[in-house]
Structure 1
Amino acid sequence: MLRSGLVTCQSLQLSSCLADLGDLIMGSTIAKCAVADLGIQWAGWVLAAVFKTEKFYDLAGSGTFILLAHLSRLWGGGGFLRQNVQTGLVTAWGLRLGTFLFMRILKDGQDRRFNNVRDSPGTFFVYWTIQAVWVFVTLLPTLMLNSEKRNTPLGTRDYIGWTLWGVGFATEAIADQQKWIFKRDTNNVGKFIQSGLWAYSRHPNYFGEILQWSGLWLSASSAMQGPQYLSVVSPLFVWFLLRHISGIPILERQALKKWGSDPGFQDYLKNTPVLWPWPKF
């Protein structure tokens, strides 16, 4: 009887601990943001699958970045200057890029990435789920920062990080605008851009993107401790995704298919770095 009672007591204690752990996890800001992220993307998938459209895919992604940045700041409850600046920079990034991509797809009518996807709900679901992972991993340093109750004084890493973000933001915005203007010029039909920032990198917009998230991680790291530094996976993930998965490889294949036999394009490939720019003298 005594042994049975002890086992029962231990089981109750274990159940209580597990329940407390579950409450802690689900009550954390980061966990709630992860659930919200998945919910938004899956709701977007339902609408996209019903209407067989990808036109609001990128807009939903950038909008989720903005929403989660603000929710994490509200749920985190700190409201410190670093958190406010971080949230503001994520918002500026999301508003600019989301608006640009939405306007571009409205003009183009479709996104070639989805040519074999929009009619397949299952494949579409994978794309929307991958977007949820992209949002969460990329935003992880901001979510960690906004969950902090400690207020660490601003320091060198903050100012360097914000400077990197500013350079990256300007680089991406200028590169996007230069390509937009180039493509709208009827004299450039069938040509490839190699002027402006595109003379120093074949993908200067992606270079700017990587700089921005690197800068945001650097600033956020000022308030990090121990395992939180592992959130450096954010800028590394952005770099890997753009360099090896969904960005540069796809665009490079399309460019080679279109201009591969053009001597001018071959010269451009030979003398212009794929991502990291260097000045030409």
Structure 2
Amino acid sequence: MVIAVLAAFLAAAVVMGSTAAVSRRQDKVAVVDVAWGLAFVAIALVLAVLSADLHSWLLAGLVTVWGGRLAWHIGRRSRGHGEDPRYEKMLGAPGWGAGAGTVITRVFLTQAVVAFVISAPLQVAAAYDVRWWPVVWLGVAVWAVGFWFEVVGDAQLEAYKAKPRESRPKILDTGLWGWTRHPNYFGDACVWWGLWVAGALSLGWLPGLSTVFAPAAMTFFIRNVTGAKLLEKTMSQREGWDEYAARVPLFFPRPPRS
């Protein structure tokens, strides 16, 4: 277990350290968003190599599909754009203007530590044998639901943005966006609950309960801190938003209301 923990932290540190070097060269902190999913991919693959069992390789496959797609999506979406205003506001200056120590500590080191903590179910799964294989497949099903919400939600948003501004609705409220105001963030949460079920809970109640903080923390942050509610501070200024928000739930989906 100690080796798995150390390997996970080292993998996250290497990815974020390499990304910090690229970021410094480009003077753009937002490249860390591309590395977020890749940090989990690195952790999962290193743990799979160490454990060399089917369970960890299955988890590594799920994480690689999720993290690889997320990195590709964010990288393609951000290409040609400048610094993300979120990081400029956080650091008080664009790019690395706040100083290397501040940027590394507040962004890259923080994200490496968070990725390491969130990956706890993968670390436990690499150290112990599966007890309940049906629970593994239940977790895979939950992961699949989350991945579907992410992929379809992102595709629907891209199709909406591709339409001329003057001919598209003020608010995207069709498809999954009529079920939840943030289908991609909800999907992200489901992915990590699925990995927790397939990874830690399948080992037994004790490993499951001791790592439940990981998907719970991921859900809390993407709903309340870095994701949905942060985005809504700007989205809520759009025309028709209040009516949309009254009909469609913030996070957990439900059938559309008329």
Same fold (TM over 0.5): yes
Matched residue SS, 1:238 = helix
Amino acid at match of 1:159: W
Which residue of the other structure, out of 135, 147, 163, is the alignment partner of 2:115? 135
Q: Find the aligned partners of 1:190 and 1:57 in 2 and give their Cα distance.
A: 32
Are residue 267 (structure 1) and residue 243 (structure 2) matched?
A: yes
Amino acid at match of 1:248: A
Amino acid at match of 1:211: C
Q: Which consecutive residues of structure 2, in runs of 5 or more, have no partner in the other structure? A: none
Q: Find the aligned partners of 2:67 and 2:14 in 1 and give their Cα distance.
A: 19
Amino acid at match of 1:56: V
Count of residues paired in the alignment: 248
- Closer, same or farther in 2 for the Cα pair 1:41/1:241, shift >3 Å? same
* Shift, 1:140, TM fit: 1.3
Q: Find the aligned partners of 2:132 and 2:206 in 1 and give their Cα distance.
A: 18
Q: Find the aligned partners of 1:250 and 1:190 in 2 and give their Cα distance.
A: 22
Structure 1 match to 2:188 = 209
Structure possessing the higher radius of gyration over alpha carbons: 1
Alignment map for 1:35-114 (pairs within 5 Å): 35-77=10-52, 79-80=53-54, 82-114=55-87
TM-score (norm: length of structure 2): 0.87
Q: Find the aligned partners of 1:248 and 1:43 in 2 and give their Cα distance.
A: 28
Structure 2 match to 1:176 = 154
Q: Find the aligned partners of 2:148 and 2:81 in 1 and give their Cα distance.
A: 24
Q: Is the 8 A contact 1:199 1:272 kept in 2?
A: yes
Q: Is the 8 A contact 2:38 2:67 kept in 1?
A: yes
- Closer, same or farther in 2 for the Cα pair 1:163/1:73, shift >3 Å? same
Instruction: Name the stretch that deviates more: 222-231 or 124-133.
Output: 222-231
Q: Find the aligned partners of 1:226 and 1:153 in 2 and give their Cα distance.
A: 13
* Shift, 1:107, TM fit: 5.0
Amino acid at match of 2:71: G
Are residue 247 (structure 1) and residue 227 (structure 2) matched?
A: yes
Structure 1 match to 2:256 = 280
* Shift, 1:138, TM fit: 1.9
Amino acid at match of 2:250: V
Alignment map for 1:142-221 (pairs within 5 Å): 142-148=122-128, 150-152=129-131, 154-155=133-134, 157-187=135-165, 191-220=170-199, 221=201
Q: Is the 8 A contact 1:73 1:147 kept in 2?
A: no
Amino acid at match of 2:152: I
* Shift, 1:106, TM fit: 0.6
Structure 2 match to 1:18 = none
| Deviation by residue 1:49-78 (Cα, 9 ceiling, x = unmatched) | 34311353122221121111011111123x
Q: Find the aligned partners of 2:72 and 2:15 in 1 and give their Cα distance.
A: 18
Instruction: Name the stretch that deviates more: 125-134 or 163-172.
Output: 125-134
Q: Find the aligned partners of 1:153 and 1:236 in 2 and give their Cα distance.
A: 22
Amino acid at match of 2:244: Y
Matched residue SS, 1:36 = helix
How big is the alpha-carbon RMSD for the aligned residues of Structure 1 and Structure 2? 2.2
* Shift, 1:252, TM fit: 0.9
* Shift, 1:141, TM fit: 0.4
TM-score (norm: length of structure 1): 0.81
Q: Is the 8 A contact 2:202 2:208 kept in 1?
A: no
Q: Find the aligned partners of 1:235 and 1:35 in 2 and give their Cα distance.
A: 21
Are residue 223 (structure 1) and residue 197 (structure 2) matched?
A: no
Q: Find the aligned partners of 1:105 and 1:268 in 2 and give their Cα distance.
A: 27
